Chains A and B, each alone.
Chain A
């Protein structure tokens, strides 16, 4: 009797379960899904979990079978690998985290298999074929990419500088009619499908189904452009972001200038001061909360000259609010987000920014409550509004308890410019002021607490509905004391002198 067929059969029994879909356990996937995914995506997969109303963009509705991040052609289903990839890595720039650190790859495979059961399309259509993307051309063609960026009118949504401020940006909606931002192409760490040149090229080829982002593959089929030229567009888009994503430092160093400080937000003197990244999140501590902040980060530079302190705060905001063109967006966000407020969306709101300090430099480690202080520990504020409808200086003893400071002795000045989706705001104040009781007196060499609030009026943000930071520190560089330069010289002179002395005495002994 030949034993080979039996052996082969036994072997194949081991091999089959590990091969692709056959190895996926839908039931195990459901258990994981119900525990970890349903809160946002809903138990029936319709993207309507109890957290969904607090998110923009909304969680994916799996019943539609429409997926943004794929390797398949526009309008097609994703491959299993595509689903696994998104679960692994998450969707940067959205509430979707990556799960690869929490679950094994077989668990994630199981979840992917379960997700597919929500849409009849997976059964009807069968497994899709991934596209051939080829490789990035060796020659980098950023300038050529820029030309095509203009020709294929990427700027219509993404803006000329790529900051998501194009003329069509205010009216963009996803497939479920929720407002959706055109991606800020200068922040590739927030790209939903990843920020590498390869990732960008794939999005250009496949489109991002369910969003306004179309596929550009037909332009290659129609011989309007080549694959290589589309790669160059991806290279150009990639070049709009810094090479490294932002890193967060606890301390903003205020560079000490000899003489004049930068006079305006666009003054080239600002190039001499380092910009520090401050991440921002929605204010979700107190009513009314805000879960869809527009500003997710600030770049802060600081400079002083022993008399004046200047702060430059730069952030991206696709709208120069108040702007009637964005009123529809404002209303649309207000109608989408919890809590629903009737007051939002009637008139265009301004953009605002506030810098927060304690009223005096703390002696210990205690700082006022980060959210506008409290009755015992007030905070001192620098306020700016794009409409000029705010008193520049104030103190506060909690959210909603702001006391404007008026009077002629005010020395705080501010100026701001908005250009192509970017605000540049400069504050300046003398280090010392007459009212040392309520107003912070800046001193060099100390670590002074500092925090920030930002409002995008066109996003319906006002009052407590704002973006907030936690406390950071600002350190004003001290003048270098003359001893720093003198001490090494004295030390060297002393060493040489002593050495000579030792030699001289030794020689005298020998002689003696």
Chain B
């Protein structure tokens, strides 16, 4: 069942694509690998003129007292405990060696105007391995499939707890895959396993491919964006959200910085 907005989005993007195709192609050609949205690369080129495209990059710094990760007691689940040589640690606050914060979801909150983007056909994979979610924080586009995989072969239930979307709570007692998606934009939907209380992941649902999750170096890059003024939001499960407004011109690259942590509050 598609909502009115989904239908409209689909209609607009299809028309746009048809129009561009009829005019002999838009930006085409250069499809770099820097796009944060990942799988929507090819279709993005149809919407955004890459010859003038802009980029927003940056990093998320962590300030304040270092937060010590706790060891997770997996002794009740030997199948998972046996997958680790060192005790697995909690992932809520992970500070990188260069002082940046990992697992921050960065996305374009405002500024894309009426642009619409097709739903990527490639699913995002959420794996349950060693009684942890991989990845811990991730993004999808509205309607994009999430393939939920159980690689452990012990009972996991995937209990999503959205507020703007309808949730789900499905059981996977064996090695198997299940596919679900969300229909409404929403940031930071918790996914939890009630069987293993320490298992948590967060999925954010946006209408476009301009999102990223900070990794081992705490950096992010949103591209290829149409030149313009954007509100960029950073979300972290413990520290909440922060936003910044930034303007980028044709072929420009703008750099912004976020800071999270106790001292930043």
- List residues of A whose CB falls within 8 A of some B CB: 64, 66, 74-77, 121, 124-126, 151-153, 156-157, 167-168, 171-173, 175, 207, 209, 212-219, 222, 224
Q: Are A212 and B166 in contact (CB-based, < 8 A)?
A: no
Contacts of B172 in A (CB 8 A): 218
Most chain A beta carbons < 10 A, residue from B3, B155, B178, B194? B194
* Bound Cα distance A171, B200 (Å): 14
Q: Which residues of A contact B194 (CB under 8 A)?
A: 157, 168, 171-173, 212, 214
Is B258 engaged at the interface, CB distance under 8 Å to the other chain? Answer: no
Question: Of the candidates B161, B166, B173, B197, which one forms a contact with A168 in the assembled complex, judged by CB atoms under 8 Å apart?
Answer: B197
From the candidates A156, A216, A218, name the one contacting B195 in the complex (CB within 8 A). Answer: A156
- Complex-state Cα separation, A74 to B161, whole angstroms: 13
Chain B residues with CB below 8 A from A157, complex form: 194-195
Minimum Cβ distance to chain B for residue A501 (Å): 84
Contact of B163 with A by CB under 8 A: yes
B173 touching A219 by the CB < 8 A rule?
Answer: yes
CA of A151 to CA of B170 in the docked complex: distance in angstroms? Answer: 16
A214 contacts B176, CB within 8 Å? no
Q: Known contacts being A168-B195, A168-B196, A214-B157, is A222 close to B169, with CB within 8 Å? A: no
**Cβ-defined partner of A212 (8 Å) among B159, B168, B177, B178:** B159
| Contact, CB under 8 Å: A214 / B169 | yes
Residues on B with C-beta less than 8 A from A175 are 161
Q: Is there contact, CB below 8 Å, between A75 and B163?
A: no
B197: chain A residues at CB < 8 Å are 168, 171-173
The reply to whether B195 and A213 contact each other, CB–CB distance below 8 Å, is: no
Contacts of B150-164 to chain A: CB distance below 8 A:
154-155, 157-159, 161, 163
Contact (Cβ within 8 A) B166 A151: no
Q: Does B1 contact A (CB under 8 A)?
A: yes
Query: Does B167 reach chain A (CB closer than 8 Å)?
Result: yes
Residue numbers in A under 8 Å from B158 (CB-CB)? 214
By the criterion CB–CB under 8 Å, are A215 and B195 in contact?
A: no
Bound complex: CA A157 to CA B177 (Å): 22
B154 cross-chain contacts in A, Cβ below 8 A: 153
Would you give the shortest CB distance from A357 to chain B, in whole angstroms? 42
Contact A215 B169, beta carbon cutoff 8 Å: yes
Is the pair B176, A212 in contact by a Cβ cutoff of 8 Å?
A: no
Q: How far is the CA of A212 from the CA of B196 in the complex (A)?
A: 11
Q: Pick the residue among B3, B161, B166, B171 that contacts A218 (CB under 8 A).
A: B171
Given contacts A168-B194, A168-B195, contact A64 B163 (CB under 8 A): yes
Given A153-B155, A222-B176: A74 in contact with B196 (beta carbons within 8 A): no
Is B174 on the interface with A (CB-CB < 8 A)? yes
Q: Size band of the B side of the interface? A: 20 to 34
Known contacts A126-B1, A168-B195, A212-B194: A224-B174 contact under CB 8 Å: yes
Is B33 an interface position by the 8 A CB rule? no
- Bound Cα distance from A215 to B161, whole angstroms: 15
Closest chain A residue, CB of each to CB of B168: A75
Judge whether B97 is part of the interface by a CB distance below 8 angstroms. no
Does B169 lie within 8 Å of A152, measured CB to CB?
no
Contacts of A75 in B (CB 8 A): 166-169
Across-interface contacts of B3 in A (CB, < 8 A): 124
Q: A411 to B3: give the CA distance in the assembly, Å.
A: 75
Q: Report the Cα distance A152→B194, complex, angstroms.
A: 15
What distance in Å separates the Cβ of B4 from its nearest Cβ neighbour in chain A? 10
Do B170 and A215 touch (CB < 8 A)? yes
A446 to B192, CA, bound (A): 58
B171 near A209 with CB under 8 A, answer no
Q: Are B166 and A125 in contact (CB-based, < 8 A)?
A: yes
Given the complex, which residues of B lie within 8 Å of A77, measured CB to CB? 166
The distance in angstroms between the C-alpha atoms of A149 and B174, with both chains bound, is 13
- B residues less than 8 Å from A224 (CB atoms): 173-174, 176
Q: With A153-B155, A168-B194 known to touch, is A214 a contact of B166 (CB < 8 Å)?
A: no
Please classify the interface of chain B as helix (H, G, I), strand (E, B), loop, or mixed, using the class held by over half of its residues.
Answer: loop
In the docked arrangement, what's the CA distance between A221 and B64, Å? 49
Contacting residues, chain A, for B170 (C-beta < 8 A): 74, 207, 214-215, 217-218
Q: Which residues of A contact B169 (CB under 8 A)?
A: 74-75, 207, 209, 212-215
Identify B76's interface contact among A121, A167, A173, A214, CB under 8 A. A167
Closest residue on chain B to residue A121 by CB atoms: B166
Given A75-B169, A171-B194: 5 more A-B contacts, CB < 8 Å: A156-B155, A168-B196, A214-B158, A219-B176, A222-B178
Distance of B209 from chain A, by nearest CB (Å): 25
> How distant is A21 from chain B, measured CB to nearest CB, in Å?
18
Specify the chain B residue showing the minimal Cβ separation from A77. Answer: B166
Complex formed: what's the CA distance from A213 to B135 in Å? 24
B195 A76 Cβ-Cβ under 8 A: no
Given A212-B159, A222-B176, does the pair A76, B166 have CB atoms closer than 8 Å? yes
The answer to whether A152 and B155 touch (CB under 8 A), given A167-B76, A168-B197, A224-B174, is: yes
In the complex, the answer to whether A214 meets B161 with C-beta atoms within 8 Å is no
What sequence of 0s and 1s flags, for each residue 1-38 of chain B, a beta carbon within 8 Å of any chain A beta carbon?
10100000000000000000000000000000000000
Bitwise interface map of B from 170 to 212 toward A, beta carbon under 8 Å scored 1, else 0: 1111101110000000000000001111000000000000000
User: What is the CA–CA distance of A126 and B170 in the complex, to the nearest angstrom?
Assistant: 23
Measured CB to CB, the nearest residue on chain A to B148 is A218
Task: Give A215 to B3 CA distance when docked, in angstroms.
Answer: 25
A55 to chain B, nearest CB (A): 21
**Separation of A222 and B170 alpha carbons in the complex (Å):** 12
- Which residues in B have their C-beta under 8 angstroms from that of A218? 170-172, 176, 178
Tell me if B157 and A219 are in contact (CB < 8 A): no
A209 vs B166: C-alpha distance in the bound complex, in angstroms? 10
Which of A66, A151, A213 is in CB contact (< 8 Å) with B173? A151
In the complex the two chains form, is B167's CB within 8 Å of A209's CB? Answer: yes
Q: Which residue of A lies closest to B154 (CB)?
A: A153
Which residue on B lies nearest to A150, using beta carbons? B173
What residues on B are CB-neighbors of A152 within 8 Å?
A: 155, 171, 173
Given contacts A153-B173, A157-B195, A168-B197, A214 and B159 within 8 Å (CB-CB): yes
Chain A residues with CB below 8 A from B168, complex form? 74-75, 215
Residues of chain B with a CB closer than 8 A to A207's CB: 169-171
**Chain A residue nearest to B173 in the complex (CB):** A152
Min CB–CB distance A311 → chain B (angstroms): 36
Alpha-carbon distance between A207 and B167 when the two chains are bound, in angstroms: 12
A156, A157, A172: which has the most chain B beta carbons within 10 Å? A156
* Residues in A neighbouring B1, C-beta threshold 8 A: 125-126
Q: Give the chain A neighbours of B76 by CB distance below 8 A.
A: 167-168
Closest Cβ–Cβ distance, residue B81 to chain A (whole Å):
13
